[in-house]
């Protein structure tokens, strides 16, 4: 089954990973939780797309609107190995929403949520680096 995934890997920080693996795992988990929350709140936010019966669809560029709840409820966070945390969905249509398709513009949700979490990720890592110098 296909998965749409955002991967948080700490392989650029081998010294941190070696000296403080539990702290780095916490940072990955906090950032992944932030991404998950951003996705879920973004999908639940008001939309400006076309009405389909009683369903207010998302417009191009907006996060997908919640219709059945299958996509929003499929967003999960898992650890993969000792240095990777992933935020993913296994809904088959997630890629089409994230990147668009021939007759539908993209409704990205993974990429913008990961980008929104980037400052927090860097801030958490900088705090950990300062702890190394203590």
Question: Residues 10, 117, 102, CA angle at the centre, nearest 5°?
Answer: 100
pLDDT mean for each 10 residues of the chain (134 residues): 69 68 91 98 96 94 97 97 93 96 96 97 89 73
What residues make up the domain containing 32? 4-133
- What's the pTM value of the predicted model, to 2 decimals? 0.86
pLDDT at 13 (0 to 100): 63
Q: How many domains does the chain have?
A: 1
Distance (Å, whole) CA 66 – CA 59: 13
pLDDT at 21 (0 to 100): 83
């Amino acid at each position: 089954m296909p998965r749409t995934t955002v991967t948080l890997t700490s392989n650029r920080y081998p010294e941190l990973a070696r000296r403080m693996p539990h702290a780095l795992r916490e940072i990955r988990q906090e950032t992944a939780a932030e991404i998950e929350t951003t996705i879920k709140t973004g999908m639940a936010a008001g939309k400006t797309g076309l009405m389909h019966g009683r369903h207010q669809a998302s417009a191009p560029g907006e996060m997908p609107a919640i219709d059945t709840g299958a996509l929003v409820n499929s967003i999960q966070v898992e650890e993969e190995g000792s240095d990777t945390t992933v935020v993913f969905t296994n809904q088959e249509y997630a890629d089409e929403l994230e990147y668009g398709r021939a007759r539908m513009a993209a409704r990205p949700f993974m990429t913008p949520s990961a980008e929104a979490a980037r400052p927090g990720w860097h801030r958490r890592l900088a705090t950990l680096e300062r702890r190394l110098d203590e």
